[in-house]
Amino acid sequence: MKMPKVGITCYPNQGGSGVVASELGLHLARRGCEVHFISSSLPFRLRDYQEKIFYHQVDMPTYPVFLNSPYTLSLATAMSEVTLQYGLDILHVHYAIPHAASAYLARQMLADQKTVKVLTTLHGTDITLVGQEPSFKPITRFMIQQSDAVTAVSSFLKEETIRHFQCREDIHVIPNFVDARVFKPRDSVEGPRRFAKPGEKVLVHASNFRKVKNLPAVVEVFARVAARIPSRLLLVGDGPELVKVRQRLEDLGLADRVETLGQVDNLERVLPEADLLLLPSLHESFGLVALEAMSCGVIPVVTNRGGANEFIQDGLNGFLRDPEDLEGMTAAALEVLGNDSQRQHMGEEARRDAAGDFGVSCVVKSYLDLYDQLNGAC
């Protein structure tokens, strides 16, 4: 198989789509692909130099007549220039809006000079939330139809896309993945812990702190657990709901039992310090952080609305609960936090399942096979 030259565009922040795109690029490069990231800033997991990985920043000029810089057009120009200069074979865009539109424009601009294929990967809220806004729905449907290939991170998301947009059904399901060599359990379960005193349990929540993440449920479940078991809560990430979360914790008298870590580049060093992950989102198309937690042997308690049931088996390697079921989430948390042997057994099952079916090799190969199909269609 000839290794393709791939242009990857994603949001560079700590959202799941940016994490997956960054990690995919890193692993593609290690397998011999030449990978060019084209984005507004350097994706946060690409801080160090990596062979075969290149970064191209999108210039976003300002002009008085523009209320906002026309990012979509600037991105399309950058895509076309990088494709022509470096001979890219594929523009792989993560998150449909507006990246698929920019890739479509770039492909049209290059029509007489260079053949390039557009692969769009759907991640979740680009379909279930943003893409369904009346002003975005027609263009989202058009971009899905115009892409040379489309992937979704779960069967749930594929079905939602077809249902809401009445569009193509040849969407490839390629799930998110985790590098089990990086996300692994603590070296010593008996040694001192960074975030807890002896005898305390550690719960963790990591997200972009938007309303869809259902932060009130995180706080309420932790409050109920903390009333029964000595425990601490780690909050990882940042976003618009964080101020409200802090205030609610103050009101409950729990602020001194919470560590707010903000955005971190090395989540693999934080997750293993926890016993349990809380992710009670109103919906999750996949829930990458839950998979990463599982790889670390941490028990996930995750929303049952979305695609998490495609890698979590309720009661075996984690728990699935309705995001409004505070009692059910609390009971699940107390069940494992109060039983060390059960927690250890479930943690082993969680890691085995995460590393097996959702390991790097299988998923990256699926993308490489799809790239090969696209190049063969040139």
What are the tens digits of pLDDT across the range 145-169?
A: 999 999 999 999 999 999 888 888 8
In tens, the pLDDT along 206-236 reads: 999 999 999 999 999 999 999 999 999 999 9
**C-alpha distance from residue 322 to each of 124, 220, 291 (Å):** 18, 14, 18
Give the pLDDT of residue 152. 95
CA 79 to chain centre: 23
- 201-207 vs 258-262, strand pairing mode: unpaired
Return the bridge partners of 203, or none. 233, 276
Q: Does some domain include residue 194?
A: no
Q: Which residue has the higher pLDDT, 255 or 264?
A: 255
- Domain identity same for 287 and 304: yes
How many Å is the Cα radius of gyration of the chain? Answer: 21
Q: Are residues 57 and 75 located together in one domain of the fold?
A: yes
DSSP character for 305?
Answer: S
* Same structural domain, 42 and 159: yes
Rounded mean pLDDT, 36-42:
91
What is the token pair recorded at 67?
């209320």
Query: Does residue 184 lie in a domain region?
Result: no
Give domain status of residue 189, yes or no: no
Percent of the chain with pLDDT strictly greater than 90: 75
Look at phi and psi of residue 237 and say left if phi exceeds 0, alpha if psi is from -120 to 50, else beta: left
- The percentage of residues in the chain with a pLDDT greater than 70, rounded to a whole number, is 95
* Residue at 207 is within a domain: yes
- Predicted pLDDT of residue 377: 58
pLDDT of 166 reads 86
Residue 104 lies in a domain: yes
Say yes or no to pLDDT of 191 above 60.
no
Q: What is the widest separation between alpha-carbon atoms in the chain?
A: 68
Is the entire prediction scored with pTM above 0.85? yes
Q: Are residues 155 and 295 in the same domain?
A: no
Q: Quick check: 192 pLDDT over 50? A: yes
Q: Residue 14: pLDDT band by 50, 70, 90 thresholds?
A: low
The length of the chain, given as a count of residues? 378
Which residues constitute the domain of residue 115?
5-177+359-376
Are 32 and 82 members of one domain? yes
- Among 218, 368, 339, 210, residue whose Cα is nearest residue 275: 339
Residue 189: is its pLDDT beyond 70?
no
Are 136 and 97 a contacting pair, CB within 8 Å?
Answer: yes
At 269-324, the pLDDT tens digits run: 999 999 999 999 999 999 999 999 999 999 999 999 999 999 999 999 999 999 99
Provide the 3-class DSSP secondary structure of residue 191. Answer: coil
The answer on 213 and 167 residing in a single domain is no
Is residue 183 situated within a structural domain?
no
What's the rounded mean pLDDT across residues 250-267?
A: 93
Rounded to whole angstroms, the Cα distance separating 354 from 224 reads 29
Do residues 40 and 125 both lie within one domain?
yes
**For residue 150, what are the β-bridge partners?**
120
| Per-residue pLDDT, 378 | 47
Q: 265 pLDDT band (50/70/90 cuts)?
A: confident
pLDDT of residue 188: 62
Q: Do 365 and 341 belong together in one domain?
A: no
CA 373 to chain centre: 25
Residue 91: beta bridge partners?
7, 118
If asked whether residues 341 and 243 sit together in one domain, one would say yes
Residues 345-370: tens digit of each pLDDT: 999 999 999 998 899 999 999 999 99
**CA-CA distance, 220 to 217, in Å (whole number)?**
5
Confidence of residue 172 (pLDDT cuts 50, 70, 90): very high
Same domain, 318 and 369: no
Contact 314, 320 (CB under 8 A): yes
pLDDT in tens, 113-128: 999 999 999 988 777 7
Which of 116-137 are b and which e, b meaning 16 or more Cβ less than 10 Å from the residue's Cβ? Answer: bbbbbbbbbbbbbeebeeeebe
Same structural domain, 50 and 166: yes
What is the total count of domains within the chain?
A: 2
The model's pLDDT over 84-121, given as tens digits with 9 standing for 90+, comes to 999 999 999 998 889 999 999 999 999 999 999 999 99
Query: Quick check: 34 pLDDT over 50?
Result: yes
One domain for residues 160 and 226: no
CATH number at residue 43: 3.40.50.2000
Residue 190 maps to a domain: no
Q: What is the mean pLDDT of residues 1-30?
A: 88
The residue-averaged pLDDT of 34-58 equals 87
* 229 falls within a domain: yes
